[in-house]
Amino acid sequence: MRVLDQIHALILTHPHISHSTNAFSLSKVLCFAAYKNVQYAKRLLFQLRSPNIFAYNTVMRGFLQHSPSPEPILLFRRLIRSKFPASNTFTFAFVFKSCSILTAFDEGRQVHKHAIASGLGDNLFVQTSLLNFYTKCEEVELGRKVFDEMFQRNVVAWSAMIGGYARVGKVNEALEVFRAMQKGGVEPDEVTMVSVISACAMAGALDLGKWLHMFIDKNGIKNDLEVSTALVSMYAKCGCIEKAWAVFEAMPVRDAKAWSSMIVGFSIMGMAKEALDLFERMGEAQVEPNHVTLIGVLSACAHGGLVAEGRKYWSSMLNCGMEPSMEHYGCMVDLFCRANKAEEAYEFVASMRIAPNPAIWRTLVVSFKKNKMFHKGEEVAKQLIQLEPQNAENYILLSSLYASKSDWVKMSRVRRQMRDRRIKAVPGCSSIEINGHVHEFVMGDWSHPEAKAITEFIREVSGRVQASGHEPWIASVLQNVGNGEKLDALWEHSERLAIAYGLLKTKAPVTIRVVKNLRVCEDCHEVTKTISKLYDREIVVRDRIRFHKFANGVCSCQDFW
C-alpha cells in the first residue's frame, strides 16, 4: 500500500500525462488497492471521471472479500440512480452475494428485477447467484422456482438447492434433490458437501448430517480440510460434541478455522475448561488465532463464569494488536452480566471504542432486571425503543421489567404501545427431527397433524412433573392473569411441545434433540431436568444462546446460562 500510495501521488502530480493514460493508470491502482484497502479503492472510484463497470465490480468484490458489508448493494444503487449504461454478470453476482450474506431479501428482489430487465436473467452465472441468494434467505420455494427454470445446472446450483432445503429443515426434500443430482450425472464434490453440511448445522438436521458423513466415506470424496471443518462445526452445532471431537482429532492438518470451530463447539456446550485447554494447544501448535477463535474463548469464559480468565484473554487480545469486533465486546458484556457484575458491565460499555449495538444494550437490561436495578434498566430499555422502534424484543424487555416488579399499569401501557404500532412479538418456535423430517412447534399453536395425541401426552407429562414436587415458576409468564392460566401457558411453550412429541415418537435410548429460536425460560429449564429423570431420556436443547444437555435430572450448564 505504501508503494501504491506513491504511484497514485505520481499520477496525480503529472498533469501532462494524457487523460486516457491517467484514467487507465488510476483504474489499475484501484484494482490493486481493492485487495488491501477497499475503503481507499472506494474513494478512488468516486474520484474517477468516467469509471467503467470493471472498476465498480472490483470495489464490490473487494468489500465481499473483507467482511459482510452492504457496500456492494449501495454501489449498485448508485449505478442505477446514475443510469449507468451497463452492468454485467459479475455485477449481479457480487450484489446477490452481498444480499445473501446480509439476508437482505427486499433489496435482492429488486436486484432480481434489474437482472431480468438487463437481459441477464437467464445467464447461468447470474441464476446460480440468485438461487444461492434465495436459499440463504430461506425463501426455498422462490429458490426452487429459479432452479426449475435453469436450462443448465452446475454443481454449485445443485449444492445451493440441497443446502436450501436442509437449512429450513426439509430433510427429505434435500435428499431427493441430492439423489436427482446423482441421477443427472452431476457428481457431488467437496464444495457441495461443505455447503450441504453447513446447512445441516444451521438447521440442526443431525440425521442428514450423519448420512452425508457416511456418503463421503463410502464414495471416496476427499475429506479435505474444508470438509472436515464443516463436519466438526455440524456435529458441534447439533450437540454431538463427542463426534465433533473425533473428527477434529483425526484431522492431519488443522488451520485456524478448524481450531476455532472446535473451540466454539466446546463453548456453546458450556465446556469452558475444554475450550480454554484447546486454545492453549492451538498456541503450542503455533497456529495464529483469528477473530472467531477469540469469540469462542471469551464466550467460554462467559458461559463458565470465569471472569478473571475473561479479563486475561481480553488483555492479551488487545496486547497482540487484534482490534475487538462488536462480537468480542458483546462476549465481555455477557461475561460481566452473567457474573452479576452489572455496574462493571455498564462501565465497560461506556468505555467501548465503538458504539454499542442494540444487542449489547439488551444484555445490560436483562442484567439490570436480574439485579433489581430497575431504574437503570427502564432507562436503557426506553433508549432501545427510541433506537429501534419496530423491534418487538425491546418492548418485551421493558414490559418484562415492569412485570417483574408487578407494575401492571406500566406493563399494559407498553403492550398497548405495541398494539398501536402494530408490532408483533416473535413467537417461541422449536423444532425436532424425527425419521428424517423436521417437525416445528410454535407456542400455543395446535395445528400439528398429531395435535390431539400431543395434547393428551402433555397432560400425562405435566401430571408426572407436578407429582414429583416441581413448583412452577409462574412469574416468568408476563400476563396479569390467574395462576391457573399462567400454568397452562407454561405448558404451551414450544420446547415442551417438541420434547413431548419426541417422547411420544421415539424410544429410549434415543436422544431427543430440540432447536429453539429463543432463550429457554427458567421454568422450562427446570421442567426439562425433571423430565429427563422421570423418563430416563437424554434431552439436548439448542436455544439462541447455547446448548443444554439434560440427563438424569441435571443440565450440562449447571444452571448457569
Residue 483 lies in a domain: yes
Where among 425, 458, 484 does a domain terminate? Answer: 425
> Are 193 and 163 contacting, i.e. CB atoms less than 8 angstroms apart?
no
Does residue 26 register a pLDDT over 80?
Answer: no
Of 191, 257, 195, 265, the closest CA to residue 235 belongs to 265
Dist. CA 302–CA 542, nearest whole Å: 17
CA separation for the pair 370, 557 (Å, rounded) = 18
Q: Other CB atoms closer than 10 Å to residue 334's CB: what's the count?
A: 23
Range of the domain at 454: 444-555
More confident site: 314 or 519: 314
Tell me: do 369 and 449 sit in the same domain.
no
Q: pLDDT category, 238, cuts 50, 70, 90? A: confident
Domain identity same for 462 and 545? yes
Q: Which helix (H) or strand (E) holds 542?
A: strand 539-542
> Are residues 450 and 539 both part of a single domain?
yes
Instruction: Say if CB 196 and CB 212 are below 8 A apart.
Output: yes
Residue 512 has pLDDT above 90, yes or no: yes
Do 459 and 542 sit in the same domain of this protein? yes
pLDDT of residue 47: 76
Query: CA 97 to CA 91: how far, in whole Å?
Result: 10
Query: What mean pLDDT comes out for the span 149-161?
Result: 91
End-to-end Cα, the chain, rounded Å: 46
Cα separation, 224 vs 255, in Å, equals: 12
As a whole number of angstroms, the distance between CA 99 and CA 120 comes to 18
| Local confidence band at 140 (pLDDT 50, 70, 90 cut-offs) | very high
Residue 464 grid cell: 408426572
CA distance linking residue 249 with residue 245, whole number of Å = 6
At 80 the pLDDT is 87
Query: Is there a domain that residue 472 lies in?
Result: yes
Say which residue the cell 399494559 belongs to.
412
Strand partners, 74: none
Looking at residue 502, what is its pLDDT?
95
Residue 463 lies in a domain: yes
C-alpha pair distances (Å), 51 with each of 28, 57, 58, 59, 104: 12, 11, 11, 11, 27
Q: Mean of the per-residue pLDDT values for the chain?
A: 87
The pLDDT value given to residue 264: 94
- For 313-354, the pLDDT digits (tens) are 999 999 988 889 999 999 999 999 999 999 999 999 999 999
Cell reading at 2 = 505504501
Q: Same domain, yes or no, for 448 and 528?
A: yes
Whether 548 has a pLDDT exceeding 60, the answer reads yes
Q: How many separate domains does the chain show? A: 2
Pairing of strands 547-551, 539-542: antiparallel
Q: Are residues 407 and 479 in the same domain?
A: no
Residue 138 lies in a domain: no
Out of 75-84, 238-247, 358-367, pick the least confident: 75-84
Alpha carbons 365 and 234: distance in angstroms, whole number: 32
**101 and 66 in contact (C-beta within 8 Å)?**
no
Residue 476 has pLDDT above 60, yes or no: no
Residue-level length of the chain: 561
DSSP letter string, 119-155: T-TT-HHHHHHHHHHHHHTT-HHHHHHHHHH-SS--H
Residues 415 and 454 in one domain: no
In this structure, is residue 339 part of a structural domain? no
One domain for residues 472 and 515: yes
Q: Span 220-228, mean pLDDT?
A: 88
Percent of the residues in the chain that have a pLDDT greater than 90, as a whole number = 50
SS3 390: coil
Whether 549 is in a domain gets the answer yes
Between CA 549 and CA 396 the distance in angstroms is: 28
**Confidence class for position 521, pLDDT limits 50, 70, 90:** confident
Round to whole Å and give the CA distance between 79 and 326: 31
Q: Enter the pTM of the model.
A: 0.73
CB proximity list for 75: less than 8 A, separation 6 or greater? 56, 59, 60
Per-residue model confidence (pLDDT) at position 202: 78
Domain presence at residue 77: no
Let me know whether 473 and 514 are in one domain. yes
Q: For residues 223-242, give the mean pLDDT.
A: 92
Cα separation, 155 vs 163, whole angstroms: 12
Summarize pLDDT for 410-466 with one digit per residue, the tens. 999 999 999 999 998 888 899 888 887 778 899 878 888 999 999 999 999 999 999
pLDDT of 18 > 80? The answer is no
| 524 and 465 fall within a common domain | yes
**In the predicted structure, residue 22 carries a pLDDT above the cut 70:** no
pLDDT at site 380: 92
Q: Pull the grid cell for residue 474.
A: 409462574
H/E segment holding residue 174: helix 171-183
Q: pLDDT class for 255, splitting at 50, 70, 90?
A: very high
- Does 486 fall in a domain? yes
Per-residue pLDDT at 37 exceeds 80:
no
| CATH classification of the domain holding 401 | 1.25.40.10
Residue 512: its H or E element: strand 512-516
Question: Which of 425, 455, 470 is at the close of a domain?
Answer: 425
**Residue 65, CB-side half-sphere exposure with 13 Å CA sphere:** 13
- Look at residue 545 in the predicted model and tell me its pLDDT: 79
**Whole-angstrom distance, CA of residue 298 vs CA of residue 88:** 43
- Retrieve residue 383's grid coordinates: 433508549
Are the C-beta atoms of 389 and 421 separated by less than 8 Å?
yes
What does the pLDDT read at residue 34? 57
The reply to whether 450 and 378 lie within a common domain is no
Whether 405 and 499 map to the same domain: the answer is no
pLDDT at 559 over 70: yes
Residues above pLDDT 70, as percent of the chain: 91
Q: Give all strands of the β-sheet with 429-434 in edge-to-edge order.
A: 437-442, 429-434, 512-516, 539-542, 547-551, 554-555
Asked which of 374, 393, 425 is the last residue of a domain, the reply is 425
